[in-house]
A and B are shown apart, each in its own frame.
Chain A
Amino acid sequence: MASASDPHASAFSAAELEFLAEDETIEIVPNLKMDALNFISGDFGPFRPQIPAQAPLWLAVALKKRGKCTIRAPEWMSVVNLTQVLEAERDSDKFQPLPFHYVEISRLLIDHARDDIPDIYMVRSLVEDIKDVRFHKIGKGLESISAGGTFALKLKNLSAMEANIVRPFVTRALETFYKLGSSDMIQETDHAPNRQQTADRGPRRQLKDR
């Protein structure tokens, strides 16, 4: 989407990331009988009514839309867990471990399976808060690039969406830092003096300059 129209935008558009996130598996409780499905990514099923089964998220959403299953919200999406994560996120400088696609998964589930998630409003606002706190941290982390001597950045546990949003900015910035901070530009001091003199040619200029 965005990447097609604007080559300088992220490597992936948000919609493409959502597509990738749909390959994550999730637990569903089907209410239909269906034989096992053989996909390239693996075999899922067989599905029996009221027996929980694993399925890729896209399949779960598709079944859910047709009213053929209920989705079990993953454990990390419980209010208890999210509250803990949010607190830990606020307290420490590190990023808390969350699923790589947590932004996309939570949005998909909140959009399509609102009745299957307990305390959906709470969950939604918690996820939003966590996301905001993490973004703020990323911004602070990016500011610190310029402070150190080496231009590098360590962002452990960064999620797909977060990495994707900062990618165009960070790569450009690091490129420029690298260019300006390369040894050619900075440590020109020791091995250059001979050439410096020939290049300067001070006395000759005075003669000609009259």
Chain B
Amino acid sequence: MANYYDIDDILAEEELVPTVFQHGANGVGLFDSSDDADKVEAGSRAELPFWLVRELYLRQLVSIRVPPCFDRESKTREEIAADAAHVDLRSRSPYFYELGCKIALLIRDRTIGPFLLVAFQTRYRDVLVKAHALTLTMTPKYLTLLTNEETKLYEAGQSSIAAFKKWRMGGPRFQVAPVLGRKRKLT
């Protein structure tokens, strides 16, 4: 509930997290649509959005299986360690860092924090160089690799450089207020 009005924070909590039910529950068959019994057996697995998982987890109704992209022996970790800049994190989760933070704090996994930091440190450098160097035509291909956070960072860098270049080239010196463009009404 850190940023109640932040749409990205809200969307990050929509990400699905794999969980295991610790108790059976009636009337919530929609979580586990394998049969018509309209109930969830203890021990069954389901992917639930994070905001729901947090509440259930704090009540000890479910246990969390760390999503594959944060898991200790996952392929993602190996890829990040090898060459973080070219890992497609967006396909893992568009809110990779935010979700990672939230999960790490919830289940108190001490390895996720440093892992996220290392990932961002190496990728940050690449974002920086590309934001300041790439021309607009080349961007779409690169942007597909970035998470939401990184995309925003990239765009922040890119747009300020573009604005500066436009100013230096001498764009329109004066902007006509929209009021002035209108023709005077005949009275």
Interface residues of A (CB under 8 A from B): 1-2, 6, 8-10, 13-15, 18, 107, 111, 139, 142-143, 145-146, 161, 164-169, 172-173, 176-177, 179-181, 184-186, 188-189, 192, 195-196, 199, 201, 204-205, 208-210
B48 at the interface (CB under 8 A from A): no
For B124, list chain A residues within 8 Å (CB). 145-146, 173, 176-177
B159 at the interface (CB under 8 A from A): yes
Q: Which residue of B lies closest to A183 (CB)?
A: B113
For A209, list chain B residues within 8 Å (CB). 20, 43
Contact indicator A204/B22 (Cβ below 8 Å): yes
Kindly state the separation between the CA atoms of A164 and B104 in the bound complex, as whole angstroms. Answer: 35
13 contacts between A and B (CB under 8 A): A9-B156, A9-B163, A10-B163, A146-B122, A166-B160, A168-B157, A169-B156, A172-B153, A173-B128, A180-B101, A181-B117, A186-B113, A205-B22
Interface residues of B (CB under 8 A from A): 20, 22, 42-43, 60, 63, 97, 101, 104-105, 107-108, 110, 112-114, 116-117, 120-122, 124-125, 128-129, 131-132, 149, 152-153, 155-157, 159-161, 163-164, 166-168, 170, 175
Q: Which residue of B lies closest to A1 (CB)?
A: B175
Kindly state the separation between the CA atoms of A143 and B101 in the bound complex, as whole angstroms. Answer: 24
Kindly state the separation between the CA atoms of A91 and B108 in the bound complex, as whole angstroms. Answer: 49
Contact indicator A14/B164 (Cβ below 8 Å): yes
For A164, list chain B residues within 8 Å (CB). 160
Contact indicator A208/B22 (Cβ below 8 Å): yes
Are A143 and B128 CB-contacts (below 8 A) given A180-B113, A201-B63? Answer: yes
Contact indicator A176/B97 (Cβ below 8 Å): yes
For A13, list chain B residues within 8 Å (CB). 163, 167
Contact indicator A172/B105 (Cβ below 8 Å): no
Smallest beta-carbon distance B81→chain A, Å: 16
Are A8 and B159 CB-contacts (below 8 A) given A169-B128, A188-B108, A188-B113? Answer: yes
Kindly state the separation between the CA atoms of A172 and B63 in the bound complex, as whole angstroms. Answer: 34
Are A139 and B129 CB-contacts (below 8 A) given A111-B170, A167-B160? Answer: yes
Kindly state the separation between the CA atoms of A9 and B161 in the bound complex, as whole angstroms. Answer: 10
Kindly state the separation between the CA atoms of A111 and B175 in the bound complex, as whole angstroms. Answer: 18
Which 7 pairs of residues, A with B, have the shortest CB-CB distance?
A185-B113, A14-B167, A169-B157, A168-B156, A146-B121, A188-B110, A2-B163
Smallest beta-carbon distance A16→chain B, Å: 10
Contact indicator B63/A205 (Cβ below 8 Å): yes
A192: contacting residue among B110, B125, B164, B166, CB under 8 A: B110
Kindly state the separation between the CA atoms of A107 and B171 in the bound complex, as whole angstroms. Answer: 13
Q: A177-B121, A180-B116 are in contact. List 17 more A-B contacts (CB 8 A).
A: A8-B156, A15-B167, A18-B167, A142-B128, A146-B122, A168-B157, A169-B157, A172-B156, A176-B149, A177-B120, A179-B97, A180-B97, A181-B117, A185-B114, A204-B22, A208-B42, A209-B43
